[in-house]
Amino acid sequence: MEWNLCERDQFGNSYYEIETMSGSRPDITLPDKAEALLGQIYFKHKLPPINPDTRLRLSSIPEELALETLRKVYNSKVKYTLDGYINFLLSNSTGFGSPLPSPGGSPAKTPNSSGKIGCRAFQAEIAHDSETRHLKNSRREDDGASLFSSQQLALGELEFKKAFLMLNYIADKRLEEVITADEIRRMKDLPMVEYESGIWNRLGLHFCRREDRRMLLEWDCGKPHYYQCYVASDGTCRFKGPFLENTTTHLHKVLGDENVLMVKFEDVACRRDLPINSSDSYSTYKHIATNGIMIGLRRYQFFVFKDGGKEEKKKDPSTKGVKCYFVCTDSRAFNDRGKDYNFSRKSVHEVRMHFMHVHNLQTLANYMARFSLILSKTKKLEVDLTDINFDRIDDINCHVFLYTVVHQQLSFLFVFYVNHYLFTDPDLPLQPFLLQHQMQDQDGNVVFDKNGKPFIHSDGTGYISEDLARKCPMNIYKGQCTRGKHVQGNVSEFEAQEGCSQEPPLLIQFRLFYNGCAVKGTFLMNKKLPPRTIQVRPSMIKVDTDPHLSNFSSINSLEVVSTSSVALNYADMDDYNAVDMITAGIPLEEPFLKHHLSILLKTERKDLKAGKLPVAESYYLMGTVDPTGMLEKDEVCVILETGQISGDVLVYRNPGLHFGDIHILKATYVKSLEDFVGNSKYGVFFPQKGPRSLGDEIAGGDFDGDMYFVSRNPELLKYFKASKPWVSLSSTSKSISGRRPSDLSSQELEDELFNMFLATRFRSFNVIGMAADSWLAIMDRLLILGDDRAGEKVEMKKTMHQLIDIYYDALDAPKKGAKVDLPNELRADMFPHYMERDPEKSFRSTSVLGLIYDFVKSHKTEEISPSEIKKLPCFEAEQVPESLTERLKNWYENYRAEMSRALDLKIASDRNGAADEIIRRYKQEFYGSAGFEDWEKHREELYPRAIAIYNLVYDHAIRTQRVANCGFAWKVAGPVLSRFYSERTPGKTVLCSVAVLRDILGNRRI
């Protein structure tokens, strides 16, 4: 690669010509108005068309700026070349560069020779200087050239996170306006902490909002980095980040954090009655999707999106819960030279097929719904998949036993009776009919749903051998290993990977990507399997392997989402500090402990206001099917900490709305199950008998990771009255029509997928939420109606059943490609006050939910008086070296200054994230070389340090009369302080089981 000084602009900024190896360039489209204006320019000035690089540069800037530039060209006299004049004008008006070729790699075999999917766009590669010089003369006619400012070239020499941080701190300014290339290069070798401080003072302080500052990151902590781009309706981009996360996705692991960009699009004003593909309101966004987003000298293109639903919408209302990711496809940055980017010279669709053969699917809705599996937060299980026995086993179908009537003329009628009415009304008088006619038992017949798909008992669950299960850490939740030292039978991540005598997880929720197929579900640990074996069922395979792509490389990985391990409520909110303190015998009146328990109480009160009551002897357990076949259709096997339990239990699954979603079942001891699972704990097993899966009867559940509420609370069992299970009465689901993905060309596919994203992000109507809210509003009124309103109650129940059908159909609609509507006549127009809606659309509810809400809201949490801030005697009396205290005093003051700045951030997520990062960093510094995991080996060395910090912190809290200021000591050195207290206070140590801790902390859920 060579850089040649080409020209200087009016500000004295240098622009360079970059010569690279190139071949045919991808077609770059411009907005229609720009294309029309270019045509007029060619005709007026009698000039040939502009070259691809100029097109790329025009495509990378907002449409209005491109049009303004072309109008100037049209009205001017072009003295030299058209490309040179356009680039000169752009150099004086924008800092955008042009889309660029990919770093490294070689052409891959096109997976589909039909000219449709798999027909890739050309991606030119960057070579080393010597290679470029060697080929420049021989391929001069194919070389492309682009103009970039000296600042852009200097930015390309920086480590990516440094370059991105600089773009964050200049906000909407041009790089060329605010800094010189020499200044950029002078800072490129600074350590990240010094670099961040330097560019904040030089740039961020003047152009960036304080809440967008990323000063508190521990840059080399090894955590995943997330990069974000905010796209305004006019196409301008604002970069934010990097942000640190505790967990990561399969996409980030494969491509690398710096090659993945989360993109958020601003709301636009548009007519909702027009289809997305015919609305001009989204033309700017479509233009960006086609030509990409530039980050310095890197180009990012649309790749995948996912509708995260209600929970993600709460976290980030600006995206309505829809996450969109672009990935890096091109780079001319100097810092990217020589890097091996595995997917260069390939179309975006080809890159997707390295993850899974998603082109095999029937609909576009399935295409993106299944491909978004790579966005699950997961932890990779370190196993060699090439050495694993990958077996496919059959699903367990649901059967019904029919009978042949002696009188042949009644046979068809009876079969229809059983198949139809048995499931719509199980209480119909079938037995008298059987007694009236002589019957003969036949083989069981497979039962089908309304869409002609067989009901199955084993939906979403397979098996994994014991040796592989032992490699999985015990406590994983949404891809993150949670601290579990207070859970009996827990295995640390290190112990799991090294192999140990402890029992492995009973159930593992996973994502498996293997030779082009994508598998989703749970693995039940099966001791009967031979080593290094996994078994999957058809219901678990979401994308199958294309046999025609046997030579096409695939990214194979086994990713763990969650395990069935036990967890304590709210324990992770304080890294188990409250648990540590209580089990060490520290009195509940200790200022920080009392303060922190009050915070946990507020969290519990929030749930209480919503009608979520703690229930004793109740658990949340991952579900699966009984592998022994011993359970009857009304039985379950429940394994808790002490093993299998017996007796009646209530079983329910969120978000069930139907009265029949709560079942009374018999918990049954199954001796032969121990041959499969050994002593592994925590799970609920459902039978493989009956005409319909019990999991499906409970809010349409399956066994791919669903959690079931299991209660043996005697009061609930005493008063609960079971109802008939839900059966869908709606018509067959209507799929959204359209061509198969394999019928589309590469560009057609990208256009359709991005239109689908736009529709999901901007046009989607929240049928699920509206149906649930309307159901609750009607249910609330139903609860307060007396028996004298029987007719009205019947109509209300009818409406509720319709809403339930719509609700459940809408839950499954995205992955089935179906469209579900909510009729206006079913929508509630008034809501109970506890739902906290607009007062004009609310009524005061006198139902039990309204009464609970009012009761909780009327009680205030007791505040801790400043006079209660006192030290524990054993810490106050302990002597530590004065030099140590003085050194830690400065350290603590630095912490307070950093935390003060972090708490000034306006956005709650940024504020909380910054605060967490500070605590994490100071905690790491406190343990130093001892390391947090091995601190007990060095506790005698850490005791003086912890005691000095404790006294400094509590002295400050007493002076300021703020109990919250006590937190630093416990958040950083909590385990050490708790151990010291238990050793210095004889008779105070408490050994607690999970059950006892649950009672102490008011925790009723596992």
- Chain mean pLDDT for the chain: 78
Over 50: is that where the pLDDT of 256 sits? yes
Determine the pLDDT at residue 736: 59
pTM of this prediction?
0.75
Task: Of 296, 224, 305, 232, give the one whose Cα is nearest residue 262.
Answer: 305
Q: Which two tokens stand for residue 590?
A: 């200790």
How much of the chain exceeds pLDDT 90, in percent? 36
Please tell me whether residue 133 adopts helix, strand or coil conformation: helix
Neighbours of 819 (CB within 10 A): 15
Contact yes or no for 34/66 (Cβ under 8 A): yes
Q: Radius of gyration (Cα) for the chain, nearest Å?
A: 32
For the ranges 34-48, 306-320, 687-701, which has the lowest average pLDDT? 306-320
pLDDT of residue 670: 96
Where are any strands of DSSP class E within 572-687?
618-625, 635-640, 643-644, 647-652, 663-667, 683-686
H or E element in which residue 831 lies: strand 831-832
**pLDDT of res. 576:** 54
What's the pLDDT score for residue 879? 87
pLDDT above 50 (res 781):
yes
Residue 733 or 308, more confident: 308
Question: Long-range contacts for 184-191 (Cβ within 8 Å, ≥24 apart)?
Answer: 184/151, 184/154, 184/155, 184/157, 184/158, 185/154, 185/157, 187/162, 188/154, 188/157, 188/158, 188/159, 188/162
- pLDDT (0 to 100) of residue 27: 60
* Cα–Cα distance for residue pair 592/868, rounded to 1 Å: 10
Pull the structure tokens for residue 940: 């005698």
Return the closest-CA partner of residue 803 out of 787, 780, 779: 779
**The pLDDT of residue 25:** 42
Contact 289, 304 (CB under 8 A): no
Q: By C-alpha distance, which of 931, 940, 973 is closest to 954?
A: 973
Give me the pLDDT at residue 202, please: 94
For position 119, what pLDDT does the model report? 28
Q: Is the pLDDT of residue 568 over 90?
A: no
Residue 426 clears pLDDT 50, i.e. is over it: no
Those residues with Cβ within 8 angstroms of residue 937's Cβ, 6 or more apart along the chain or in another chain:
930
pLDDT in tens, 459-516: 999 999 999 999 998 878 888 776 544 333 333 443 444 444 467 999 999 999 999 9
- Per-residue pLDDT of 756-770, as tens digits, reads 999 888 876 778 889
Average pLDDT over residues 520-533: 96
Distance separating alpha carbons of residues 367 and 363, to the nearest angstrom: 6
CB 287 within 8 A of CB 296: no
Residue 772, both tokens: 């649930």
15 phi/psi in degrees, rounded to 5: -120, 140
Percent of the chain with pLDDT over 70: 75
Report which listed range, 256-265, 916-925, 980-989, is most confident.
256-265
Q: Quick check: 572 pLDDT over 70?
A: no
- Written as one letter, the residue type at 321 is G
pLDDT value, residue 735: 59
For residue 321, what pLDDT band results from cuts at 50, 70 and 90?
confident
Q: State residue 702's pLDDT score.
A: 93
pLDDT at 441: 34
CA separation, residue 978 to residues 37, 579, 872, 941 (Å) = 74, 10, 11, 15
The mean-pLDDT minimum among 54-63, 321-330, 448-457, 905-914 falls in 905-914
| pLDDT value for 274 | 66
Residue 428: what pLDDT?
41
Confidence bin at 929 (pLDDT 50/70/90):
low
For 669-715, how does the pLDDT look when each residue is reduced to its tens digit (9 = 90+)?
999 999 999 999 999 999 999 999 999 999 989 999 999 999 999 99
Residue 435's pLDDT band, with cuts at 50, 70 and 90, is very low
Find tokens 């900490």 and name the residue. Answer: 641
Helix intervals (H) in 705-786: 714-719, 746-758, 767-784
Assigned token pair, 94: 């924008």
Task: Return all residues near 520 (Cβ < 8 A) that are at least 6 apart.
Answer: 373, 460, 510, 511, 512, 540, 542, 704
Confidence tier at 170 by pLDDT (50, 70, 90): very high
Q: Which domains does the chain have, with CATH numbers?
A: 458-563 (no CATH), 571-608+864-1000 (no CATH), 615-719 (2.40.40.20), 765-858 (no CATH)
- Rounded CA-CA distance 655/623 in Å is 15
Confidence check: pLDDT of 721 > 60: yes
CA angle 666, 670, 671 (to 5 degrees): 155
* Coil, helix or strand at residue 565: coil
* pLDDT at residue 860, as a whole number: 72
d(CA 680, CA 525): 8
Type of residue at 931 = G
Of 423 and 873, the structure prediction assigns the larger pLDDT to 873
Partners of 102 in the β-ladder: 125
Other CB atoms within 10 A of residue 420 CB:
10
pLDDT tens across 633-669, in order?
A: 999 999 998 899 999 999 999 888 998 999 999 999 9
Answer with the residue of higher pLDDT: 902 or 711: 711
Instruction: Quote the CA–CA distance of 457 and 640 in Å, as a whole number.
Output: 23
Greater confidence, 569 or 911? 911
Q: For 836-854, what is each residue's pLDDT tens digit?
A: 888 889 999 999 899 988 9
CB 693 within 8 A of CB 706: no
Beta bridge partners of 622: 707
pLDDT digit string (tens) for 78-137?
Answer: 877 898 888 888 876 643 333 333 333 333 333 343 344 432 222 222 222 223 333 333
